[in-house]
Amino acid sequence: MAEDLLIVKNLKKYYPITGGVFGKEVGVVKAVDDVSFTVKRGETLGLVGESGCGKSTTGRSLMRLIEPTAGEVVFDGTNITSLKPEEMRKMRRDMQIVFQDPFASLNPRHNVEKILEEPLIVHGIGDAAERKQRVSEMLEVVGLSSYHAQRYPHQFSGGQRQRIGIARALMLNPKLIVADEPVSALDVSIQSQVLNLMQDLQKNLSLTYLFIAHDLSVVRHISDRVGVMYLGRIVELTTSEQLYQNPLHPYTKALLSAVPTPDPDAKRERIILQGDLPSPANPPSGCTFHTRCPHVTDECRSVRPQFRDVGSGHFVACHLYNA
């Protein structure tokens, strides 16, 4: 079995809420609250959940694009949480991010060649001719052509722009790509082209993905395992197949009940969740899902369920599955 490339232990990202004339801290928003998982070399781990559940903050905190409040991240055998800024900058060669909105993440005043060679310049790699050569190669790898190098982001379609975003992430030959909603801004017809490209690249370049999305059907398409997040915590994590065949957590069941199935005979009862997503500034006590859960008991309101393995690496945080 492949070894772990990424180990995330008890990751937390809290934002202070300040108030009053003196800007005193009056509370905290627990955007990521004690999240632990691993990603094996060559694996795709999907992270799903509603908007505001903390999945993007998890991706950015583990790369230290934003500093985590607590927790440990071990990447390729190195504890990166304790690295100094210069050491971390070097480590980022191996861990790259693809953003949701390629238009916002590509500098509109730079042509594609300048955009793609920038990571090489920052890390002092190659001379001008070598960088130009690498840009041409990478454009071909993502299904574009070398003549696209002289064009500007606005001259491309959304799908092409995301290919450029992926090419930029690949310029330094990374080991891990954190893909933060990489197809959410694209038309459905284009989404599968980009997902197929990502899968081909993974195979050919031995990449490992942390794939963040709110759409369960997109995550299923690409992930080996999937973690479901709710209010800053992972509530269920298992293989893609197990999650879709045998979801355990009531929140996962509700999310899945809303996903259309390709089989018209398959009957799945839609579970409508009551209430809105509570604020992470004031999360419910005990199980944070208790305000919306159809199976809530008194214990759920006061005791936080442990996130535990209930068999064969199927993790769930719910009192219904206590031994």
Residues that bind ligand SF4 (CB under 6 A): 249-250, 287, 289-290, 293, 295-296, 300, 305, 318-320
Nearer Cβ to ligand SF4, position 214 or 290?
290
Q: Which residue has the tokens 């990478």?
A: 138
Q: What is the CA radius of gyration of the chain?
A: 21
Nearer Cβ to ligand SF4, position 138 or 318?
318
CB of 233 to ligand SF4, least distance (A): 11
Q: How far apart are CA 98 and CA 172, in angstroms?
A: 13
Nearer Cβ to ligand SF4, position 136 or 291?
291
CB of 284 to ligand SF4, least distance (A): 9
How many CA atoms lie less than 13 Å away from 66 in the CB half-sphere?
15
Q: Is 80 helix (H, G, I), strand (E, B) or coil?
A: helix
Nearer Cβ to ligand SF4, position 33 or 180?
33
Q: Indicate the residue type of 253.
A: K
Nearer Cβ to ligand SF4, position 114 or 319?
319
CB of 246 to ligand SF4, least distance (A): 16
Nearer Cβ to ligand SF4, position 153 or 286?
286
CB of 321 to ligand SF4, least distance (A): 8
Nearer Cβ to ligand SF4, position 176 or 300?
300
CB of 251 to ligand SF4, least distance (A): 6
CB of 188 to ligand SF4, least distance (A): 31
Phi-psi region of 195 (alpha: psi -120 to 50; beta: other; left: phi over 0): alpha
Spatial strand order in the sheet of 176-180: 95-98, 176-180, 208-213, 44-48, 225-230, 233-239, 315-316, 308-309
CB of 310 to ligand SF4, least distance (A): 12
CB of 318 to ligand SF4, least distance (A): 3
Residue pair 164/102 in contact by the 8 Å Cβ criterion: yes
Burial string for 176-194 (b: 16+ CB within 10 Å, else e) reads bbbbbbbbebbeeebbebb
Q: Is 4 helix (H, G, I), strand (E, B) or coil?
A: strand
Other CB atoms within a 10 A radius of the CB of residue 74 amount to 16
Nearer Cβ to ligand SF4, position 203 or 301?
301
- Determine phi and psi for 159, rounding to 5 degrees: -65, -40
How many CA atoms lie less than 13 Å away from 259 in the CB half-sphere?
20
